[in-house]
């Protein structure tokens, strides 16, 4: 495995500066007032207010200046901007009570509409968020929005009254947080102050849904910071796909790495065990894909350009090794990132991935002995620029247990040269 590897002071300074401003105005004599520098007798002659200078010196902190002791004028100091945690708490109070309008902040620019809602309302089920967007109940600058529309800083997002699909736990136990932290640490492939890359196990969902209670997004709750912010997902893997999953620990990293994925500068390599042997040992699959079926049972079908919901998908592939013309070990490089893209594309060329319950459609095909009927797809390697330095973070994930067992049975050597490395990036 290879790895490559602040604002509060300013706010305090602003308030201190404001107080210094009060001092200069208070020290300046009024136009019709007494002359500058009144005597102690004159000051003590005012019965209405007791001067702090009359207090014993021992009762005043040595470091406190007269300006710091003077009360700030409430009309002169600008109101403090609420913290993210306070803003989020206020948003929760109106979840189910009425319409609210949110303004997209600069560090939320370029976020998808649905991901924006996930970040602002983490307790809402993702399926519920997609539903309100799809129904047109959410508006951006007065217009209907699609789930994958990108936001820009300053836009106003109108949110309809929201209702929780399920009660949010009042609190998380320290034992639960500790357990989740230990689990995440055990599957961590790379981590720095901005980025976390984990080896997602097969069977662990990335996000919650109907009937899904344990998922990566939920595990990340244990990593919330003092302001209530938790790490963010910047891409997804199917529940049964194992391997490299990139997570942003900061808003800055999330925005930067999301752009990297969209601009296709992130290199992704997958390994798969498929049925049969492709006639063309190295090639490309270019189709349009569209979703069919209901949520939960939906699958991607090959569509034509212009069909409703159809998006272009491009994949490069290469055969690394074969087993008696029965099975092939493929290396895959998806240029685009469509749902189920690799699974749909391998099935489209007649070589579906072994153990795929949605796309494996070869009749009378028997699973070779000793090979488990589980999805044999691994997000093997990812190379992404470090959001702060720009240097590449290059991470490789090991084979999951069921794929390792299959490779051992078939005699595949994982140290073999992977020709997909030379495949184009676009």
Nearest to 358 by CA among 206, 240, 200, 242: 240
Coil vs helix vs strand at 111: coil
Residue 297 annotated to the active site? no
Q: What pLDDT sits at residue 340?
A: 95
* Cβ count within 10 A of residue 286: 13
Q: Which residues are 392's β-sheet partners?
A: 385
Helices 126-134 and 113-120, packing angle to 10 deg = 130
Distance CA 120, CA 136 (A): 19
Distance CA 208, CA 199 (A): 18
pTM: 0.66
Contact 392, 5 (CB under 8 A): no
Nearest to 277 by CA among 86, 93, 144, 410: 410
Q: What pLDDT sits at residue 82?
A: 59
Q: What pLDDT sits at residue 110?
A: 75
Q: What pLDDT sits at residue 280?
A: 94
Q: What pLDDT sits at residue 182?
A: 96
Distance CA 274, CA 360 (A): 9
End-to-end CA distance of the chain: 26
Distance CA 289, CA 339 (A): 9
CATH topology assigned to domain 264-422? Pseudouridine synthase (3.30.2350)
Q: What pLDDT sits at residue 18?
A: 41
Nearest to 181 by CA among 236, 121, 230: 230
Q: What is the mean pLDDT of each run of 10 residues along the chain (426 residues)?
A: 45 44 45 50 48 48 48 52 57 58 81 79 71 84 85 87 54 84 96 96 88 88 85 93 96 89 91 96 96 80 92 96 95 94 97 96 90 97 95 97 97 91 72
Q: Which among 194, 238, 240, 418 is annotated as catalytic?
A: 238
> Where in the chain are the domains?
84-159, 264-422
Q: What pLDDT sits at residue 426?
A: 65
Q: What pLDDT sits at residue 410?
A: 96
- Our CA dihedral for 422, 424, 425, 426, rounded to 10 degrees, sits at -170
Q: Return the CA Rg of the chain.
A: 30
The CATH number of 84-159 is: 3.10.290.10
Q: What pLDDT sits at residue 17?
A: 44
Q: What pLDDT sits at residue 163?
A: 62
Nearest to 71 by CA among 9, 12, 22, 11: 22
Strand pairing of 232-233 and 195-200? Answer: unpaired
Whether 84-159 and 264-422 share one fold: the answer is no
* Cβ count within 10 A of residue 280: 10
Q: What pLDDT sits at residue 74?
A: 47
């Amino acid at each position: 495995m290879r790895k490559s590897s602040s604002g509060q002071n300013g706010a305090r300074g602003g308030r201190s500066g404001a107080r210094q401003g009060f001092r200069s105005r208070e020290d300046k004599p009024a136009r019709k007032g007494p002359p500058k520098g009144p005597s102690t007798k004159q000051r003590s002659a005012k019965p209405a207010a007791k001067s702090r200078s009359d207090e014993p010196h021992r009762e005043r902190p040595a470091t406190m200046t007269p300006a710091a002791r003077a009360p700030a004028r409430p009309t002169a100091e600008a109101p403090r901007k609420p913290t993210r945690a306070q803003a989020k708490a206020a948003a929760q109070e109106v979840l189910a009570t009425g319409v609210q309008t949110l303004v997209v902040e600069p560090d939320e620019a370029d976020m998808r509409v649905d991901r924006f809602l996930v970040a602002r309302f983490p307790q809402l089920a993702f399926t519920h968020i997609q539903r309100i967007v799809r129904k047109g109940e959410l508006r951006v600058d007065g217009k209907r929005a699609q789930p994958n529309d990108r936001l820009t800083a300053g836009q106003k997002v109108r949110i309809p009254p929201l209702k929780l699909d399920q009660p949010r736990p009042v609190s998380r136990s320290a034992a639960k947080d500790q357990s989740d932290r230990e689990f995440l640490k055990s599957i961590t492939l790379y981590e720095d102050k901005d980025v976390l890359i984990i080896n997602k196990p097969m069977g662990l969902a990335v996000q919650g849904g109907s009937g899904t209670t344990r998922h990566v997004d939920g595990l990340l709750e244990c990593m919330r910071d003092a302001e209530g912010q938790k790490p963010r997902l910047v891409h997804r893997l199917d529940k049964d796909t194992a391997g490299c999953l990139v997570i942003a620990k900061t808003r800055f990293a999330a925005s930067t790495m999301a752009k990297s994925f969209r601009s296709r500068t992130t290199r992704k390599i997958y390994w798969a065990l498929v049925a049969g042997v492709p006639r063309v040992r190295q090639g490309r699959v270019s189709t349009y894909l569209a979703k069919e079926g209901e949520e939960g049972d939906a699958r991607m079908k090959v569509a034509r350009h212009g069909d409703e919901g159809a998006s272009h998908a491009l994949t490069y592939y290469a055969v690394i090794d074969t087993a008696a013309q029965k099975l092939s070990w493929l290396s895959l490089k998806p240029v685009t990132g469509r749902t189920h893209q690799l699974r749909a594309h391998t099935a489209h060329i007649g070589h579906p991935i072994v153990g795929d319950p949605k796309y494996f459609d070869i009749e009378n095909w028997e699973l070779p002995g000793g090979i488990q009927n589980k999805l044999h797809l691994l997000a093997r390697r990812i190379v992404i620029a470090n959001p702060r330095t720009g240097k590449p973070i290059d991470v490789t994930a090991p084979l999951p247990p069921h794929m390792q067992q299959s490779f051992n049975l078939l005699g595949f050597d994982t140290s073999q040269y992977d020709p997909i490395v030379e495949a184009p990036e676009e």
